[in-house]
Amino acid sequence: MFRILQNMSPVVKNILIINVIFYIAQWTFPMVMESLQLYPISSESFKPWQLATHFFMHSPFSIGHIFFNMFALVIFGNNLEKIWGPKKFLIYYLSCAIGAALLHQLVLQIEISSLVKLVANSDWEIIKGEGHLILNEIKTTNHYSSEYGIDLNKDQNLLALLLINNTPMIGASGAVFGLLAAFGYLFPNTQLMLLFPPIPIKAKYFVIGYAALELYLGMANNPGDNVAHFAHLGGALIGILLVLYWQKSKNKFF
């Protein structure tokens, strides 16, 4: 374990350690860590610092969430940091993470605005400031009916609006997708071995295919899908723009 850490580039190693610390803290200090998740800007729970903390956090109930993100960080991040150096790599990683969050927020606000038009403004004003309490009541009793006669079981648009406005985003996936985009651009013909299915594929085709899949899933907007697909695309977009700016000579590495 210590040998693996010693072989990592410094920024990648420190990012990995911070993510692990945050993951443990989510189990030991859940109430404190909840305030570090990124809520929609329109939510009463949104705080500005969440833009800089949410991407160090992962679902405490899914070891795969943190494992695959950190695996990609080590595999692709090491190579990029060796090329750019620690300072430039850190700027890139943070830019992708925050860029991913901003695109995610933009998409959320568009979705929230469209739902606001479908509900009674008076009902929304009454319940939007008590989102967490209401959602906890729904989870406990599977029902919510306020003293004002608001029945969320009868107004699915209002319920959807309440859920979207009070659902936080966590994870380093946006930043990691930025790493994938940079690696695909700088090392386009490097063969990657996929896990599922176990076949080799050139980095450029993997990144393009993955981005196309994320765009499709994001546009599909499946109600049961809790993945922030546009955050992934935001990380890739910011990443590509930065790489193009830095690689004005259009040099690539193989």
pLDDT per residue over 186-245, tens digit each?
999 998 887 667 788 898 888 888 888 888 887 876 766 677 888 888 999 999 999 999
In CATH, what number is assigned to the domain containing residue 132? 1.20.1540.10
**Domain presence at residue 253:** no
**Domain presence at residue 254:** no
**Domain presence at residue 107:** yes
Cα angle 143-147-149, degrees, rounded to a multiple of 5: 70
pLDDT, tens only, 2-14: 565 677 899 999 9
Structural domain boundaries enclosing 171 = 2-246
Contacts of 19 (CB under 8 A, 6+ apart): 56, 57, 58, 66, 69, 70, 172
Residue reference for tokens 């210590």: 2
**Domain presence at residue 117:** yes
Residue 238 identity: I
Q: Return the pLDDT at 24.
A: 94
pLDDT, tens only, 139-166: 676 666 665 567 776 678 888 888 889 8
Please say whether the beta carbons of 123 and 155 come within 8 A.
yes
**Domain presence at residue 19:** yes
Domain count, the chain: 1
Residue reference for tokens 């990012």: 15
